[in-house]
Structure 1
Amino acid sequence: MSGCTHPAHQHCSFCDSKGHLTVEVDGNGDPHIDDPAPKDPSRRGLLKGSIAAGLGTLGAGLVGSSVARAADGTMQTRSHYFIPASADTVHWGYFSKSLKPQVEISSGDFVTIETLTHHAGDDYDRMIKGDPGAESVFHWDKKKKGVNRRGAGPMDASLFGRGAGEGLGVHICTGPVYVKGAEEGDVLEVRIVDVAPRPSANPAYKGKSFGVNAAAWWGFHYKDLITEPKNREVITIYEIDAGLDRNWAQAVYNFQWTPQTDPFGVVHKTIDYPGVIVDHATVKENHGVLKNVRVPVRPHFGVAGVAPKEADMVDSIPPSYTGGNIDNWRIGKGATMYYPVAVKGALFSVGDPHAGQGDSELCGTAIECSLTGTFQFILHKKADLAGTPLDKLEYPLLETQDEWVIHGFSFANYLAELGDKAQSDIYAKSSVDLALRDAFRKSRTFLMDTQGLSEDEAISLLSVGVDFAVTQVVDGNWGVHAVIRKALFSGGSL
């Protein structure tokens, strides 16, 4: 609303006329995301958390707190934090258990987090210009970069000469968030309360946001092109209404990637290092593409998760048991994710924001668009999980109002399964077959444990009532997800 003074929340549906972020709660302290929770018991959440309203004026760090009644009747304080996206708050292209937290929170607290797409440099004028946070992150001149390390590779670029980190991991991640009391074996519940596009700061594009789709060399399509030139990478720029009053995106123009020389003098013949600013004097913009096509806007976070324990520096591209680059368009407003905690404090980070994507992310990217999200974090201690649906959870689980979504990967935990060379071998060993097998096994166990089905019952239901789909085939560790509709279990009284 117009009263919200923070630029990332100019159109936030949760901001009141005074610019305060509020979350409406029911008698149990649960937030109303869109509609009140349905009365059908089969569509209730996996667990009832003790949730309260988060109030406060947006700013750096702690922005406010409130007291609300929890489900057990006790009064509890919930704090609301804010992490802006800047060169000081992001880590580019990797997860690490050694990262210094940006904030330390308690279970039940809210955090509003700004995220930037690593593809913003494909159109500097629309996606970076005039935006201090984005400008600090993407700053790169002959003397220095705003964020030097980009990827989990060597800092001296001794492998390929691309730049610090070598681009072995590409996503700009904001965080991490340290959750007090979180330890290995616990489960972190992350509720996505709100998601809003980051408006263009360029006055020429007031009220608009923009995103990038790159049909790139790592896309599933790349070796199967039929028109010349066969080895081409094509960037398409999309326009999104910053207030989401219009629920579709429209293509503005596209261009074919040409060799780009970065400020350090390295020539990038392909899209091989994140954050290179495209010189539009070297490309031909083709306007009027995808005429009369409206792409559904489904804002979500491609990368979200906690730090793994197996290595200190982990490439952000392949997803794994702690989440990461899952690239499921369902991980947006109103959704809840459950992550197994692997390290002290959990260390949650989020990035790779998307305005829209289809299942498979076939050409290599979605509509990569900077977003701001508000999250609530609920910690479930290992000692309290016995007999609950989260007992022994070993993978990232998605819950929406209507569905549970089970994420399978070619390798459930590739860092442990593939050994010392896991971060390179994963790119050569993934397949949809392996990912489907993993999704099947996880879904079978989920139905047996949470619904009390026998193995034979679970297998029959998986075949006749559950949809399996390809999440993505471009992230190194390929993904297949199973969508289990809660309405399947509404036939009896519970």
Structure 2
Amino acid sequence: MSSIHAVKRAHAHLAWDNSIPPAVRVHSGDTVAFDCLDASNGQLAPASTPASVAALDFARLDQVNGPVYVEGAAPGDVLQVDVLAIAPSVPWGWSANVPGFGLLAADFPRPALKIWQLHDYAHGAGYAAFDDHSGIRIPLRPFAGEMGVARAAPGPHSTIPPYATGGNIDTRHLTAGSTLYLPVEVPGALFSMGDGHAAQGDGGTAIETSIRASVRLTVLKHPARTAVVNTPHFSTPAAPAQAYYCTTGVDPDIREAARAAVRHMIALLAVEHGLEREDAYILCSVAGDLRMHEVVDMPNYVIGMMMPKSIFTKPGQTGVLSATHV
């Protein structure tokens, strides 16, 4: 029988470091509830101004909550993270232009700040109002920008960029009902999450906000299958659009990240569906969607190869990674 555990705001850290003691220890299949501040770590508020952005203490940004030690997780395994529920915990959020960050950093050198009001936010639905007169409303689709496990390389490693083990992957598809798969590099996996987002476009900057979330953490063991998960993979629910399984590439060169995402999908299709590499490559070209997920937090980009699950029509074929649970 699974248990429910809690990771509180006080259980926060500012680096991926496998020497950080666990906040909680759980069994495979347990549920963990998280209460996380926004990415500014409470430095921005509804009354903040662009000057507040310029004054941000970067050493306090992008904190994550955890880590969670999952019993039975070992290097070479995969940690399955089922997002059960996630919603903003406050009625406001912010978006900012932080000098030096973003795809057009050279074009926008000055700090800017947008404060959003979140309507009907408590259950992760509702909308964000752009202002009082334009009529622009952004549907809320909350997710955590940071979800990852500790790296094997001795730390500390900054929480600002994404890594092969997750981290600041800023992938808007990881809403409630989605599943993230992470390669485990250290005993216990040491999972952490944070950086709440109320909404975001692919590759863009989010409406940052504090969140409450619950996830189920399950260890997967099956060498032939878990070997293909060497960067974050994820599976999306059908609503509000078509369901996908996605492999990612994480690299400081955006072209290499795209190549890696496709190569990882080819490897998955070979293991899960028995396709020859050439056939899998053709399928990626015909049916897959290659998307930018994260292009803001240097030095690494996250590019995804998203395969629609609907193309797998045989009984039992879902396009989802299968493996043995512990």
Q: What TM-score results when the alignment is normalised by the length of structure 1? A: 0.58
Q: CA RMSD in A?
A: 2.1
Partner-residue secondary structure (3-state), 2:189? coil
Check whether the contact 2:76–2:226 (CA below 8 A) recurs between aligned residues.
no
Check whether the contact 2:70–2:190 (CA below 8 A) recurs between aligned residues.
yes
The yes-or-no answer on 1:191 pairing with 2:82 is yes
How far residue 464 of structure 1 moved from its aligned partner, in angstroms, is 1.2
Check whether the contact 2:46–2:115 (CA below 8 A) recurs between aligned residues.
no
Residue equivalent to 2:72: 181
Consecutive unaligned residues in structure 2, runs of 5 or more: 49-55, 238-242, 318-326
Identity of aligned residues (%): 31
What per-residue deviation string (whole Å, max 9, x for no partner) do you get for residues 97-151 of structure 1? 011111111111111011111334322569xxxxxxxxxxxxxxxxxxxxxxxxx
The yes-or-no answer on 1:376 pairing with 2:216 is yes
Residue equivalent to 1:44: none
Equivalent of residue 346 in structure 1, options 182, 189, 192: 189
Equivalent of residue 13 in structure 2, options 82, 86, 91: 91
Check whether the contact 2:125–2:141 (CA below 8 A) recurs between aligned residues.
no
How far residue 390 of structure 1 moved from its aligned partner, in angstroms, is 2.7
Check whether the contact 2:17–2:157 (CA below 8 A) recurs between aligned residues.
yes
Matches within 5 A, 1:140-219: 167=59, 170-199=61-90, 209-217=91-99, 218-219=101-102
Flag the 1:250–1:244 CA change in 2: closer, same or farther, 3 A: farther
Counterpart amino acid of residue 251 in structure 1: F
Partner-residue secondary structure (3-state), 2:163? coil
Matches within 5 A, 1:296-375: 296-361=139-204, 365-375=205-215
Consecutive unaligned residues in structure 1, runs of 5 or more: 1-76, 127-161, 200-208, 226-230, 253-287, 411-429
How far apart are the structure 2 equivalents of 1:491 and 1:443? Answer: 19
Equivalent of residue 235 in structure 2, options 395, 399, 413: 399
Counterpart amino acid of residue 97 in structure 1: N
Flag the 1:353–1:177 CA change in 2: closer, same or farther, 3 A: same
Check whether the contact 2:9–2:35 (CA below 8 A) recurs between aligned residues.
yes
Residue equivalent to 1:7: none
How far residue 245 of structure 1 moved from its aligned partner, in angstroms, is 7.6
Equivalent of residue 126 in structure 2, options 243, 247, 250: 247
The yes-or-no answer on 1:453 pairing with 2:275 is yes
What per-residue deviation string (whole Å, max 9, x for no partner) do you get for residues 412-456 of structure 1? xxxxxxxxxxxxxxxxxx232121111121112112221111122
The yes-or-no answer on 1:471 pairing with 2:318 is no
Flag the 1:403–1:97 CA change in 2: closer, same or farther, 3 A: same
Partner-residue secondary structure (3-state), 2:44? helix
Flag the 1:493–1:178 CA change in 2: closer, same or farther, 3 A: closer
Flag the 1:194–1:493 CA change in 2: closer, same or farther, 3 A: closer
Check whether the contact 1:194–1:374 (CA below 8 A) recurs between aligned residues.
yes
Residue equivalent to 2:114: 236
Counterpart amino acid of residue 18 in structure 2: K
Check whether the contact 1:432–1:470 (CA below 8 A) recurs between aligned residues.
no
Counterpart amino acid of residue 265 in structure 2: S
How far apart are the structure 2 equivalents of 1:102 and 1:339? Answer: 19
Counterpart amino acid of residue 307 in structure 2: I
How far apart are the structure 2 equivalents of 1:186 and 1:470? Answer: 27
Structure (1/2) with the larger strand percentage = 2
Counterpart amino acid of residue 267 in structure 2: T
Q: How many residues align?
A: 301
How far residue 90 of structure 1 moved from its aligned partner, in angstroms, is 0.8
Check whether the contact 1:185–1:340 (CA below 8 A) recurs between aligned residues.
yes
Partner-residue secondary structure (3-state), 2:291? strand
Q: What TM-score results when the alignment is normalised by the length of structure 2? A: 0.86
What per-residue deviation string (whole Å, max 9, x for no partner) do you get for residues 362-408 of structure 1? xxx31111111111111123xxx044x33442111101232111111
Counterpart amino acid of residue 96 in structure 2: A
Residue equivalent to 1:12: none
How far apart are the structure 2 equivalents of 1:480 and 1:173? Answer: 22
What per-residue deviation string (whole Å, max 9, x for no partner) do you get for residues 138-170 of structure 1? xxxxxxxxxxxxxxxxxxxxxxxx97xx63x83
Counterpart amino acid of residue 80 in structure 1: I
How far residue 493 of structure 1 moved from its aligned partner, in angstroms, is 7.9
Equivalent of residue 408 in structure 1, options 235, 249, 252: 249
Flag the 1:301–1:433 CA change in 2: closer, same or farther, 3 A: same
